[in-house]
Structures are given as structure tokens and as C-alpha cells.
Amino acid sequence: MKLTRKKKIVLGIILAGYAATWILAPPKVRAYLEADALARHERARVHEKEQKEEFVKHGLITESEYESNIHPNGPSSGLDWSIPVAPCVLLAHDYYVIGPLWGAGHLSLYFYYGSNVIRIGKLRTWIS
């Protein structure tokens, strides 16, 4: 099979798309996961503060009895592995952990468009 000039150019563009996705998308996914985990942690922190105030206000507990369900030093998130399944499309296993019993892992599909990523879909693989 002889490759014409046009086919070589198309093949080169496709291979460049795969390479760019493989090299450039994972750092963007990590940044996306970190921002998402920080936002979840902040919402949980605000909710816990309101809940603690209500419990203390109604005399259900004292301030010293309240135990937090979130990590005091912030959340953790990460990308276990990733594989480009098409140019600009990344299949990855990722996770976030907000507290000792508050986290989840997902098999996710991301669309990478140069400056950012969008999660197209996810399938939960574990939850705590």
C-alpha cells in the first residue's frame, strides 16, 4: 500500500493529535481535578461550620464534641493513569478524597482542547 502525500499529511496530523493529547492533557486533567476537589472541600467546610453552629445552638453537642469529617489540611486528588483513545480524547482513572470517609474514584473520559479539559463522562469505580 503506497501512501500518497495527502494520506501522509492526514496520518501526521492524527499522530500529532495523539502525541499532544498524551503529553499535554494529563497536566490539565490534574489541574481540573485539583480545582474540583478544592471546591468540594470548601463547600463541605462551609456546610460543616453551619451544621456545627446549629447543633451547638440547639444544645445537641458542645463545641469540643464536634468531629470534622473533612481533612483539615485540604483535599487530595490525582490521576492514576491515562490513555488517549483518539486525538483530544483521554480515558483516565482519577480520584478525590475530601475526608477519611469522603472520596471517590472514577473511570473518566476527558475532551482536551488545548487550554483546558472537559469531563465528558464518568463511571464511579469506588466510593468511601
pLDDT tens sequence across 22-63: 999 999 999 999 999 999 999 999 999 999 999 889 988 888
pLDDT at 40: 96
Average pLDDT of the chain to the nearest whole number = 93
Instruction: Give the pLDDT score at 61.
Output: 86
Q: What is the value of pTM for the model shown?
A: 0.86
40, 75 Cβ separation under 8 angstroms:
yes
Helix (H) or strand (E) holding 117: strand 117-127
Cell numbers for 13: 496530523
**pLDDT of 84 strictly over 80:** yes
Give the pLDDT of residue 62. 85
CA distance 77 to 105: 9
Domain boundaries, the chain: 5-39+71-127
